[in-house]
C-alpha cells in the first residue's frame, strides 16, 4: 500500500510540472496581439488607436524572453482658439508603422498571470498637419522616422485573454487595451 501511495505522489508531481511550466505569462513561441488606445506622446496630446504584435523568439536572453513584432497606430489632434485678431486652428494626423522589440522579464515576480516587459519601437510616421494662420488653408504631408521606449504589463484573465497597460515615449505616453495570446 505504501508503494502505491508513493507511486501516485510521484505521478502527481510529474503531471503538475508541465502544467506549471505552461502557465507562465510569456514564453518563446508565444504570440500576443494587443488592441488599445492611448493619449499623449509625439505629434500632440490627442487620442491614439493602436494595434501591436509580439512573437516570443526561439531563445531566452538571461532571465527573460525576447519578443519581436510590429506596431501600428493612428493619431488625430486638433487645437483651436481665438483672440481679438485671429481664429486659430491647428490639425495634425499621424499613421505610425513600426517594428517592435520587447524584453519580457517574469522570473522575479512568480505571478503566472502577470507579464512585465520593456521595449523599443522604430519605424516611420506618415503625417499631415497645418494651420489656418501661418499657412492659410494649407496642409503639409510628410513621412518622418519615429521611435521610442516603453514599459508595460499584461495581466491574463485566462490563458489566451488579458489586458495591457504601457507607459513611455512613443506616439503615446499612456496606453491600455486588450491582449490576445495564441
d(CA 35, CA 79): 26
Q: What is the DSSP string of 130-142?
A: EESSSSTT--EEE
Mean pLDDT of 143-149: 93
Q: Number of helices (H) and strands (E), helices first, in the chain?
A: 1, 8
Cell of 102: 520587447
pLDDT on residue 88: 77
Q: 147 or 133: whose pLDDT is higher?
A: 147
- Average pLDDT of the chain to the nearest whole number: 82
Q: 153 or 46: whose pLDDT is higher?
A: 153
d(CA 95, CA 72): 7
Count of Cβ atoms closer than 10 Å to residue 84 Cβ: 4
The model's pLDDT over 57-99, given as tens digits with 9 standing for 90+, comes to 977 678 889 999 999 999 988 878 788 777 777 788 899 999 9
- The answer to whether the beta carbons of residues 179 and 56 sit under 8 Å apart is no
The model's pLDDT over 93-107, given as tens digits with 9 standing for 90+, comes to 899 999 999 999 988
Q: 145 or 42: whose pLDDT is higher?
A: 145
Amino acid at each position: 500500500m505504501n508503494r502505491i501511495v508513493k507511486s501516485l505522489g510521484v505521478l502527481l508531481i510529474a503531471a503538475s510540472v508541465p502544467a506549471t511550466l505552461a502557465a507562465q505569462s510569456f514564453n518563446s513561441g508565444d504570440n500576443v496581439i494587443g488592441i488599445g488606445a492611448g493619449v499623449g506622446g509625439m505629434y500632440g496630446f490627442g487620442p491614439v488607436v493602436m494595434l501591436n504584435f509580439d512573437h516570443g523568439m526561439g531563445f531566452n536572453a538571461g532571465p527573460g524572453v525576447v519578443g519581436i513584432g510590429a506596431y501600428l497606430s493612428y493619431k488625430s489632434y486638433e487645437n483651436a482658439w481665438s483672440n481679438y485678431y485671429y481664429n486659430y486652428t491647428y490639425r495634425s494626423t499621424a499613421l505610425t508603422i513600426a517594428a517592435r522589440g520587447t524584453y519580457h522579464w517574469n522570473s522575479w515576480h512568480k505571478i503566472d498571470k502577470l507579464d512585465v516587459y520593456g521595449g523599443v519601437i522604430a519605424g516611420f510616421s506618415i503625417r499631415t498637419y497645418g494651420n489656418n494662420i501661418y499657412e492659410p488653408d494649407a496642409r503639409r504631408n510628410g513621412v518622418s522616422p519615429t521611435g521610442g521606449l516603453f514599459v508595460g504589463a499584461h495581466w491574463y484573465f485566462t490563458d489566451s485573454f488579458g489586458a495591457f497597460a504601457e507607459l513611455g515615449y512613443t506616439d503615446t505616453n499612456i496606453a491600455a487595451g486588450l491582449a490576445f495570446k495564441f
